[in-house]
Chain A
Amino acid sequence: MANKHIDDATGVETVGHEWDGIEELNNPLPRWWLLTFYACILFSLGYVVVYPAIPMLSKGTEGLWGWTSRGQFAGELKDETDRRAPLMAALAATPIETLPGNPQLMEQAVAGGRAAFRVNCVQCHGASAQGTSSYPNLADDDWLWGGNLQEIEQTITHGIRQPGDDATRISLMPNFGKDGILTPAQVTQVASYVRTLSGTEQPSSAATAGQPLFATNCAVCHGPDGKGLRQFGAPNLTDKIWLYGGSAQAVAGSVSTAHAGVMPAWNTKLEAATIRMLAAYVHSLGGGEDFAPAPAAPATAAPAR
């Protein structure tokens, strides 16, 4: 490395390194460049003092300004909460049945509900509210406990089969097979009959035998025609949607050992305004129902947004 020499062409000394005949000139740095470099070093010293920088045994140095990324996040979160405060207040003051009369607030509620859904609901109901086996699809047009805004809000607020909540959705289907109310053969017959209601299975002798059993045991909740009763969350058995599976085996299983799905009462975790936004969002997914006295005129004649 001692091959430093003055380069002929430029008159500049080389650094003494050589790679395949290529040498490096030892040109001095411009002064401003060097000063900028020193300025950066000074800046970094100041940075180390005022910001958290040096890792110690249990935790790092805290810095004179006391900045933390968590603190910054908390500040941003507070700003965002403050920014949304008027919307939340307006939502809290608006009964959900009057929400469709205020399209702008409705739009904001749906947008807020979309965000809240991703945090609180997707774990069971899926990213697009499409549900999965045992967890209902919220985007279709089939509802266990009712699909208008008020009913959805009620369900989210008080949950399903939540002990300790007086207004929770509650019902209990007997375990017809397991508890010996029906014999295994009778369970199969009822299941066959139920499947014929939606045209899933062709009528058969077993199904015919199941009909009187259905009338005696099932019609009280599911209705004489099998169309269900939302008061008890008794599903409509005549449609094509099967929460726990529609195969003969699955239906027979449901008759034998009843399902009783649960959902938390969200009023213990979320503000009323957030629940209202969630209800508006779920209602907007494509299966939302109108209130019984249908405000048909504005809905059908709805102009472009």
Chain B
Amino acid sequence: MNKSPAPSQFYEKRRAVFPKAIDGRFRRLKWAIMAATLAVYYITPWLRWHRGPYSPDQAVLIDLAHRRFYMFGIEIWPHEFYFVAGLLIMAGIGLFLVTSAIGRAWCGYTCPQTVWTDLFQHVDRLIDGDRNAQLRLQGAPWGPAKILRRTFKWSIYLAISFGTGGAWILYFADAPTLLRDFFALRAPSVAYATVGVLTFVTFWFGGFMREQVCIYMCPWPRIQTAMLDEKSLIVTYKDWRGEPRGSVKKAEKEPEKFGDCVDCNQCVAVCPTGIDIREGPQIGCITCALCIDACDKVMAQVGRTRGLIDYATLEDSAREEAGAKPLPHYKLIWHPRTLVYLGAWSAIGFALLFALGTRTHIDLSVAKDRNPSFMLLSDGTVRNAYTLKLRNMEARPREMEISLHDLPGGVMWTDDMPRSAATARITRKVDADQILPLRVFVTAPTGDDTETDFAFELRAMDKEGGGDTAKTRFDGPEENEHD
């Protein structure tokens, strides 16, 4: 990474990275997290959740056509979008929290770019062999064998990419139906377009761009640069212990002249972004910790203590150098910044949970006509018009009653009944999981007031009950305006 390019160089070729296979505790953790994240991604749309006859039975469903977001027992309506906004804010602060507490763990383990790059690199090893074989093949001239091998590998890339893009759309419609329709060429064109775009992006980003996405495209590493400090957990090469580097043979001759690093370059060979961690913290390091596994293995072979490269804060590394014991990792959480993030994150979480627990499943909203704000009828009475929306968020039809509150002498009728049938209460059946829009005309004696505050009251007529109130205004003319 530190080789300075010739100053006249106009562009820089991508240095292809062929990471070597490695086994170790962090590699195994990475396997487990890859399995878990891919499983969540592919299985979630197939989970079912019974919601009764009026709602879909897919556990997680973003139903854009009907403007509903289902997540297990929770159903979010468009007017409750603040739940989704809250979750997104939590995700953002969560990223800060994780970074502050355990460094770039998101980048190293769970970021889709990391997971899919890792997957594609395993495909490379499966088809082409490990690092050295891949390097040889890369250098070999193009011939039938290489073309065949490349075509075969890229077909597998494409199959994985298609699976990735294909699974995405299942979150937006009933998965079994959509899958059948998709292969029967009956699905909406937007489904094919989405799968096409996502397949291409996965193929290109996972198969070819890889670490370039992290280093050049993603804003997150740049943001992290500002967020990491000497108290952040990062993958650290303990240079005070490793330097100066020297082979085992040299070190045997003059032990006092050499550090623990045997300069075997294994940490560079296994790195999925192709960096040398011994140059210190850098933007290309996604802290996947595979170099820790590689170094530990070598240290075990040459009989030295593990942890020449290890998860450590710069502060701890310095403490260790001075001969003191490093702080245990759990103490990192007592970092004020981490606690602030944790506080904000949990506060939003609890607020959302509270809102979720106390939300009602019946709702009334009212929009008053303002142009004109009132209308004089031929008999001299004043009429105001309102558009009411009765929301029934239960999965069953409900009988609901609307009445006028605090409007003495007021009566109302709707646009589907004559004025002669005007009444103080109107009942309507609202279908399951639906909004009933209702155009309501109200007349009331105005007296001397040009405006009267009142409210519409909505009440469910079944035994579960519940209701809502919506405040609005009744306008009348200025005195003598029409004389």
Query: Residues of A with Cβ closer than 8 Å to B?
Result: 4, 6, 10-13, 26-34, 126-128, 130, 137, 139-142, 198-200, 236, 239-242, 246-247, 284, 286, 290, 299-300, 302-305
Contacts and interface: CB of A to CB of B under 8 A. Distances in A.
Interface residues of B, number: 38
B238 interface: no
B4 A29 contact: no
Contacts of A13: 4, 7
A203 to B, nearest CB: 16
A142 B7 CA distance: 87
Most buried by B among A12, A31, A140, A304: A304
Contact of B371 (A11, A12, A130, A299): A130
A29 B380 contact: no
B13 to A, nearest CB: 5
Contacts of B3: 11
Most buried by A among B12, B383, B441: B12
Contacts of A34: 10-11
A141 B483 contact: no
B376 A127 contact: no
B378 A141 contact: yes
Most buried by B among A13, A29, A30: A30
* Chain A interface, DSSP helix/strand/loop, else mixed: loop
Contacts of B140: none
B419 interface: yes
A140 B376 CA distance: 7
A240 B418 contact: no
B429 interface: yes
Contact of B216 (A6, A33, A126, A240): A33
A298 B83 CA distance: 44
Contact of A300 (B13, B383, B417, B441): B417
Contacts of A130: 371-372, 375
B120 to A, nearest CB: 17
A29 B12 contact: yes
Nearest to B4: A11
A241 B4 contact: no
B40 interface: no
A140 to B, nearest CB: 6
B416 interface: yes
21 contacts: A6-B4, A11-B4, A12-B5, A13-B7, A28-B5, A30-B14, A30-B212, A31-B14, A33-B11, A34-B10, A130-B372, A140-B377, A199-B380, A200-B482, A239-B380, A240-B376, A241-B378, A284-B415, A286-B383, A286-B415, A302-B416
A26 B7 contact: yes
Contacts of B418: 290, 299-300
B12 A30 contact: yes
A34 B3 CA distance: 21
Interface in B407-449: 415-419, 421, 428-430, 436, 441
B385 interface: yes
Interface in B123-161: none
A137 B11 CA distance: 72
Interface of B: 2-5, 7, 9-14, 209, 212, 216, 369, 371-372, 375-380, 383, 385, 415-419, 421, 428-430, 436, 441, 482-483
B171 to A, nearest CB: 30
B12 A239 contact: no
Contacts of B212: 30, 32
Contacts of B416: 302, 305
B22 to A, nearest CB: 27
A166 to B, nearest CB: 31
Nearest to A199: B380
Contact of A128 (B12, B372, B376, B429): B372
B371 A28 contact: no
A28 B2 CA distance: 13
A260 B325 CA distance: 102
Nearest to A128: B371
Nearest to B378: A239
Nearest to A303: B429
Given A33-B216, A130-B371, A10 B12 contact: no
B428 A31 contact: no
Contacts of A27: 5, 12
A12 B4 contact: yes
B482 A242 contact: yes
A108 B22 CA distance: 68
Contacts of A11: 2-4
A43 B429 CA distance: 57
Nearest to A247: B483
